[in-house]
Structure 1
Amino acid sequence: MSAGLLRNSFKGAASAAPFFPTLLDQMPNAIVVFDAENLKLAYANPAAELALDASRKSLEGQSIPDLFGDNPPLNNMISEVCAGHFSTQRQELVLHALPGSIHQDSTPAHVVVALLDDPSLVIMEWFPIDQQLRSERDERVTQQVEANKQLMRNLAHEIKNPLGGIRGAAQLLEYELPHKGLHEYTQVIIKESDRLQALVDRLLAPHRKAHAMELFNVHEALERVRSLVLAEFPKGLRIIRNYDTSLPDILGDREQLIQATLNIAHNAAQALGEEIEQGTAQIELKTRVARSVTISKKRYKLALNLHVIDNGPGIPEDIRERIFFPLVSGRNGGSGLGLTLAQTFIQQHQGFVACESRPGHTDFHIQIPYRTQEK
């Protein structure tokens, strides 16, 4: 948003306070307005509430140092604007949260500070730089995934055709062999052909089945995932529910989203072998709502944030950037298709899945937009 538009939005704001324009409530970037003399907040939009992890009511009356501490670059920007040396200041800097606050991360951000027409008010807008980087990364990943999917579909079809011939020839050969002891070798061919056939079917399955779109409660779906994982790992594993029960029903293919989450949670449980033996293994299923999100360059008012978090050893660094690629697995005997299928199902719902991993903390973040019922 331009500084001029910001200033115009607040013309006469001092006389109309606290009735600030609703226009800023709709802006995707975090925006606060504060007094130029004492730096105390008079207004914060919903994006700022989300960024600062606090309600507008609790933010009003707090000062900029209360929120960001002693930040010389930010303080200098504000001083220059308040002194009238510049009407607008722009800079990329790190916004530090105060120790002990709920939102403790430091955020590299692009910050704009501008003096309003009423010189007693200053407006500050910021957005995380990693938000822009993530958008660019998501676009690259989407293009790469589409290329991989097309490659795998073509490859699967090329494998499928001769595979039936190999299996049929092995069966005919088995009938002709004079010694039954040799059947062991033909059975190897037949069983391996069946295994490859099943692998090919799994590669093609997501693109064959039509969506069964319906409104459903995401927590009921997660409870099914939870029960399935605990049925396979009944001892030594704790699955924590961290649900926002106020979430509305979501429109989607219920079975596909269950399968996508189950693939991720099952992978996490398998990676927790040592922790399960020690009785310290845990997986957290966390849901929250996200407002004003951009996914693949499309804006949505609301989205579901779903996190599957485990306390395992983390994903090996050498495959961390490739975990969603087909046939890439960090586990001996793994097919490398679970996360690929999960990503496919989620992308078919216009969402995305990303992963951050370090020893002791692996977080798979799924974001799916809320959409209206298609007619």
Structure 2
Amino acid sequence: MLRKPVKGAAIAALFSQPTAWDQLPNAILVVEYAHQMVVYANPVAEVGLDISSKLLEGLSIHDLFGHNPELLKMLEAVKGDQIEAQRQDLQLGPGPARADHEPINAHVVVAGLDNPDLILIEWLPLDQQIRSERDDRLVQQVEANKTLMRNLAHEIKNPLGGIRGAAQLLEFELPDKSLHEYTQVIIKESDRLQSLVDRLLAPHRKQHVDDYVNIHEVLERVRSLVLAEFPQGLKIKRNYDISLPDLLGDQEALIQAVLNVVHNAAQALRAQIEQGEAVIELRTRVARNVTINKQRYKLALDLHVIDNGPGIPEEIKDKIFFPLVSGKEGGSGLGLTLAQTYVQQHFGFIGCSSKPGHTDFQMQLPFRLKNGKD
């Protein structure tokens, strides 16, 4: 790798203070055209390339992305033909400076700047774009389903009470005690449906109380609860980043959200538990410069619940957060829906990737301050 002192005083002055590019959700590089050297990288580019901005400055396009004729053509088109911008889906790198990294499949924009010596390169990884569009659709669908189920729950609640009351009165009037088993069926099933309705309405009844919460205390509580139910054959591994700051949120709601996900994983592992091979990993990390539900945050909790179970059936993979969808016989299909609701109340999001032997539920929740800033 060859470094050249390309950042002259005039160029250095442009980037001596924070710029609007620092806040953008996409990766940005500003390149000095003559030598094709980086003179500025925003925080998203640092994360995406896994190289700090100080190390990026002075590296060439070839150092980062290797031999890439299509990218060079875009640079030349913008510089030579005075075209404002070029857009194209490309595979970027890896170059010598990123030899141990995977290539980046991205939608790339190359644009000219007011300074004729500089060119801007912006990219959005295609998988991130696809995930963002999928997440937007899922959020909208979940919201629609929650509204539908909430309205349906209210409609069910009143006649359900009437059915139960009528069954109790009928039981008193029946002369033959042997017939009571039938009224008891009505009463017990009414109670079961009442419990289901209450669970549908629970997140919207409960007052949300924000305070600073240690996420690892939440995880330890969940871990102890699940291990108490599955004392044999299940191992829950801790993989914590203990340097994480406290999270602003409702502790009980967070416990319930994580418990629903971990309990769901444990139930999916019943075959592995019987064989003594079931493993759930709780992993915490910090995510930087993330976009959640179209909102940009500097820092977020990146929490993973990973299990070695059979995976989620293909036919329900895209529906697991919808109400009443369950892959388990006898399951209510509400656990993950409620978890999604609680996480969304914390301005976060849950996603899932699954294949046989590896299912990963990822929760991202922003680190916020009580004054509303992140």
**Shared topology, TM-score over 0.5?**
yes
Q: What is the rounded CA distance, in whole Å, between the counterparts of 1:275 and 1:249 in structure 2?
A: 34
What is the identity, as a one-letter code, of the residue corresponding to 1:160? K
Q: What is the rounded CA distance, in whole Å, between the counterparts of 2:196 and 2:139 in structure 1?
A: 23
Q: What is the rounded CA distance, in whole Å, between the counterparts of 1:176 and 1:101 in structure 2?
A: 82
1:319 pairs with one of 316, 319, 326: 316
Q: What is the rounded CA distance, in whole Å, between the counterparts of 1:229 and 1:141 in structure 2?
A: 28
Q: What is the rounded CA distance, in whole Å, between the counterparts of 1:365 and 1:105 in structure 2?
A: 23
Map 1:275-286 → 2, pairs under 5 A:
275-286=272-283
2:8 pairs with one of 1, 10, 14: 14
2:364 counterpart of 1:367: yes
User: How far apart are residue 331 of structure 1 and its match?
Assistant: 0.7
User: How far apart are residue 228 of structure 1 and its match?
Assistant: 2.0
Q: Rate the CA distance shift 1:231–1:169 in 2: closer, same or farther, 3 A.
A: same
1:95 pairs with one of 84, 88, 91: 91
Other-structure match for 1:223: 220
Aligned length: 362
User: How far apart are residue 201 of structure 1 and its match?
Assistant: 0.6
Other-structure match for 1:107: 105
Other-structure match for 1:295: 292
Other-structure match for 1:54: 51
Other-structure match for 2:186: 189
Instruction: Kindly indicate whether the alpha-carbon contact (under 8 Å) linking 1:14 and 1:118 is maintained by their aligned counterparts in 2.
Output: no
User: How far apart are residue 264 of structure 1 and its match?
Assistant: 0.9
Q: Rate the CA distance shift 1:38–1:234 in 2: closer, same or farther, 3 A.
A: farther
Instruction: Kindly indicate whether the alpha-carbon contact (under 8 Å) linking 1:343 and 1:353 is maintained by their aligned counterparts in 2.
Output: yes
User: How far apart are residue 191 of structure 1 and its match?
Assistant: 1.2
User: How far apart are residue 253 of structure 1 and its match?
Assistant: 0.6
TM-score by length of 2: 0.85
Q: What is the rounded CA distance, in whole Å, between the counterparts of 1:261 and 1:205 in structure 2?
A: 16
1:172 pairs with one of 150, 169, 173: 169
Q: Rate the CA distance shift 1:25–1:298 in 2: closer, same or farther, 3 A.
A: closer
Instruction: Kindly indicate whether the alpha-carbon contact (under 8 Å) linking 2:106 and 2:123 is maintained by their aligned counterparts in 1.
Output: no
Instruction: Kindly indicate whether the alpha-carbon contact (under 8 Å) linking 1:81 and 1:115 is maintained by their aligned counterparts in 2.
Output: no
Q: Rate the CA distance shift 1:85–1:241 in 2: closer, same or farther, 3 A.
A: farther
Q: Rate the CA distance shift 1:237–1:125 in 2: closer, same or farther, 3 A.
A: same
Other-structure match for 1:6: none
What is the identity, as a one-letter code, of the residue corresponding to 2:87? Q
Q: Rate the CA distance shift 1:239–1:104 in 2: closer, same or farther, 3 A.
A: farther
1:351 pairs with one of 348, 360, 372: 348
2:8 match: secondary structure: helix
User: How far apart are residue 42 of structure 1 and its match?
Assistant: 4.2
Bigger drift between 261-270 and 335-344 goes to: 261-270
Q: Rate the CA distance shift 1:97–1:115 in 2: closer, same or farther, 3 A.
A: same
Other-structure match for 2:256: 259
What is the identity, as a one-letter code, of the residue corresponding to 1:293? V
Instruction: Kindly indicate whether the alpha-carbon contact (under 8 Å) linking 2:94 and 2:103 is maintained by their aligned counterparts in 1.
Output: no
Other-structure match for 2:3: none
What is the identity, as a one-letter code, of the residue corresponding to 1:27? L
Q: What is the rounded CA distance, in whole Å, between the counterparts of 1:101 and 1:318 in structure 2?
A: 39
Instruction: Kindly indicate whether the alpha-carbon contact (under 8 Å) linking 2:41 and 2:56 is maintained by their aligned counterparts in 1.
Output: yes
Map 1:79-90 → 2, pairs under 5 A:
80=77, 84-86=80-82, 89-90=85-86
Bigger drift between 13-22 and 231-240 goes to: 13-22
Instruction: Kindly indicate whether the alpha-carbon contact (under 8 Å) linking 2:25 and 2:296 is maintained by their aligned counterparts in 1.
Output: no
Q: What is the rounded CA distance, in whole Å, between the counterparts of 2:207 and 2:174 in structure 1?
A: 45
Instruction: Kindly indicate whether the alpha-carbon contact (under 8 Å) linking 1:110 and 1:129 is maintained by their aligned counterparts in 2.
Output: no
Instruction: Kindly indicate whether the alpha-carbon contact (under 8 Å) linking 1:289 and 1:305 is maintained by their aligned counterparts in 2.
Output: yes
User: How far apart are residue 94 of structure 1 and its match?
Assistant: 3.2
2:155 counterpart of 1:158: yes
CA deviations over 1:89-130 (Å, ceiling 9, x no partner): 5222233454996653643323325477363x5442212344
Q: What is the rounded CA distance, in whole Å, between the counterparts of 1:302 and 1:240 in structure 2?
A: 25
Q: What is the rounded CA distance, in whole Å, between the counterparts of 1:35 and 1:363 in structure 2?
A: 42
Other-structure match for 2:121: 124
Q: What is the rounded CA distance, in whole Å, between the counterparts of 1:116 and 1:106 in structure 2?
A: 28
TM-score by length of 1: 0.85
Q: Structure 2 stretches of 5 or more lacking a match?
A: 1-5
Instruction: Kindly indicate whether the alpha-carbon contact (under 8 Å) linking 1:288 and 1:306 is maintained by their aligned counterparts in 2.
Output: yes
1:204 match: secondary structure: helix
Other-structure match for 1:328: 325
